[in-house]
Amino acid sequence: MKTQKFFSIGAAFMVMAALVWAKDSTSIADAIDDYASDLILFIPSKNKSIAVVAFETNSKELMKYFFDIMEEKIWEKGKNTIIIYERRKLEKLQDELNFSLTGAVSDETAQHIGRFVGVSVVIYGSTNHIGDTYRMAIRTTVVETGQIIFPKSYLLQMDDVLAGLLGIPYPAPDSRKTPLPSIPFSLKDIGDFTVGGWFAFSNVTGANNGDLRVGIEPYISFNRSFSETFGLNIQLGNYSGILTGDTAKNYTDNGFSPVKDYFYLSITPRFSNLPVGPGILALSLEFMPVFYLADNYDFFGEYYSHDIPPTFIFNPAIRYSLPLFGWLHFDLGTGSMGIAKGADYDKDTQEYKYGLWVEDLYVNIELYNLLGTGIALWLTPYFFISTNDHQSNSYFRKLRLGMGYYGLKDFSFGLRVDFPIGVEINKTTMEYQGVSLSPYVRATFGAIGITANFYVYHIGANTDYNEVTITPEIGISYSF
C-alpha cells in the first residue's frame, strides 16, 4: 500500500515537471518592454492606475533602471491612458507602510500597498543569479481581488547595459573556473505552487470512551491565473486516518484500524471578476476523483480493500458580490456532491449501486470588511439530499453562524457555530445533534502559512449514542 502511494506522488511530480519549458535570454530593456506590452491587455478596464512598488536587487542602479523603464514603457504602451503613481511618493511612504523599495515584497503586502495608495494594480519584481546567469521575475497583483494576473520570468542576456547596472566588467575576463550550469526555467513561469499538510486528532468521550482518531493529509497544489477572469487550481493529496481504542477493537484484535486511506486529485477551473449589474460574479467547478486504499480494514495490511470503487465528486459554486457596507457576498454551492457506489440501494437485487448525493448544499450570506473594520459576519444554512432506495431523501441539515476579524496583515481569527436542524437519528446514520463550536486562527510568515482549527462536536445528544468529540487541527503550507 505504501509503494502505491510513492508511485502516485512520483507520477504527479513527473507530470508537473513536464510542464516546464526553457526560454532564450533577452536584454533587460527588451524584457521590460515585452512585459509592459502584454500586461496592458490584462489590466482591469476600470480605474487604470498602476504603482511599481518594489524591485529586489543589490544594485541601486538596476533598481532605478527597472522603475524608470517600466513606467516609461507602460505609459507608452498604454497610449497615455494609464495613471502611474509617482515613485517619489512611494519613497516617502516606505516607513509608514513598513516595506522597502529594494527588498522582497509578498503578494499580500503588494495588495496592501495598492489599497493604501489607491491604485488598481501593483507591479513588483526581483533578480537572482547563479554563477554568470541572471534571471528577472516580475509579478502584478490586482488590488481589489488580490489576484496574480501576470507572473513572468526572463533569463537576462549579459550585455554592456546590464553589466554597467551591476557594476561588473564587460566583456567578462577569462576564468579558469568551470561556470555553474544555468537554470533555463523558473517554476514561477508556470504558476504558483504550494506544498503543505494537515494534522488532526480527535479524542472521543461518551459511549465509546477511549477512542482516539488521528488524521494526516499531505498535499501539493498548483495555481495559475491565465487572465483577470480565468484561473485554474490543481491539488494532489493523500488522507490517512487511524482509529485506536474501543471502537477499533470491533475491527481488529490489535486495536488499530484505518478509518480512511485514499488519494484524491482536485481540478478546479474558476471564473472571477465578471461584472454583472452593480456587482461582480464568480463561478467555479471542482472535479475530484477519490481512490480508496483502505476503509475500516486491518491496520497491518492483512486485508487490502482494493475492491472499494472510486468516488467522483463535483462541487459547483457561484458567488455574487456587491460593494455594500464593505463587500456583501452571496454564495450558492455544494460542500460535497458526487457519485459513489453505496449512495443508492436496489431492494430487488439487494445490491448497492452508484448514486448521487449532495451532503452540503449551502446558501451563504457574508458581509466582509464591515464598514472598513476588517470584521466579517456570515449566515449559512446547509441541506442534505440523497437518492438512497431510489427515493429522494432531503432535509434541512444545519445552520452556521460565523464571525471573523481580517483587519490585521497576515493574521486573522474567528469563530463558527453550527446548529443542527431537522436531522433524524437511526441505527445506520449518526448525525451531529448538539451545537458545535469551531474557533480558528490563521497566520502567514512570508511564504509559510499556518492555520489552527479547534472543533467541538456533540454527536447523538438525544440518543444512547451520546458523545462529545474534541478535534484540534493544524495546517502548515509553503508557497513557492
- What does the pLDDT look like over 29-55, one tens digit per residue? 889 988 888 887 777 666 678 888 888
Q: Cis omega (within 30 of 0) on the bond before 171? A: yes
- Per-residue pLDDT at 443 exceeds 80: yes
**Torsion region of 13: left, alpha or beta (phi above 0 gives left; psi -120 to 50 gives alpha):** alpha
Please report which helix (H) or strand (E) contains residue 478, including its range.
strand 467-479
- Per-residue pLDDT at 269 exceeds 90: yes
- Per-residue pLDDT at 107 exceeds 70: yes
| Helix ranges (DSSP H) in 40-106 | 60-77, 87-97
* Residue where the block lists cell 455574487: 320
Is the separation of the CB atoms in 469 and 204 below 8 Å?
yes
Please report which helix (H) or strand (E) contains residue 378, including its range.
strand 375-386
pTM passes above 0.95: no
Q: What secondary structure letter does DSSP report for 74?
A: H
Give the pLDDT confidence score for residue 299 in this predicted structure: 38
pLDDT tens, position by position, 349-368 = 777 778 887 878 999 999 98
Determine the Cα–Cα distance for residues 375 and 424; give it in Å rounded to an integer: 35
The neighbouring-strand residues paired with 432 are: 459
What domains can you pick out in the chain, each with its CATH number? 21-188 (3.40.50.10610), 191-479 (2.40.160.40)
Is the separation of the CB atoms in 270 and 284 below 8 Å?
yes
- Per-residue pLDDT at 417 exceeds 70: yes
Determine the Cα–Cα distance for residues 395 and 32; give it in Å rounded to an integer: 58
Determine the Cα–Cα distance for residues 403 and 434; give it in Å rounded to an integer: 20
Is the separation of the CB atoms in 326 and 370 below 8 Å?
yes
Q: How many CB atoms lie within 10 A of CB 381?
A: 16
Q: Which residues contact 130 (CB under 8 A, 6 or more apart)?
A: 180, 182, 183
Mean of pLDDT values over 167-179? 63
- Per-residue pLDDT at 246 exceeds 90: no
The neighbouring-strand residues paired with 233 are: 223, 268
Mean of pLDDT values over 313-331? 91
Determine the Cα–Cα distance for residues 62 and 149; give it in Å rounded to an integer: 24
Mean of pLDDT values over 205-229? 78
Give the pLDDT confidence score for residue 14 in this predicted structure: 34
* Residue where the block lists cell 477493537: 249
Is the separation of the CB atoms in 256 and 249 below 8 Å?
no
Determine the Cα–Cα distance for residues 364 and 385; give it in Å rounded to an integer: 18
Determine the Cα–Cα distance for residues 390 and 176; give it in Å rounded to an integer: 79
Mean of pLDDT values over 316-329? 90
Q: Cis omega (within 30 of 0) on the bond before 258? A: no
Q: What are residue 161's phi and psi, to 5 degrees?
A: -70, -50
Determine the Cα–Cα distance for residues 274 and 173; give it in Å rounded to an integer: 55
Q: Is 56 helix (H, G, I), strand (E, B) or coil?
A: strand
Give the pLDDT confidence score for residue 257 in this predicted structure: 67
Q: What are residue 63's phi and psi, to 5 degrees?
A: -60, -45
The neighbouring-strand residues paired with 366 are: 329, 378
Give the pLDDT confidence score for residue 21 in this predicted structure: 33
Determine the Cα–Cα distance for residues 183 and 189; give it in Å rounded to an integer: 12
pLDDT tens, position by position, 367-380 = 988 887 889 999 99
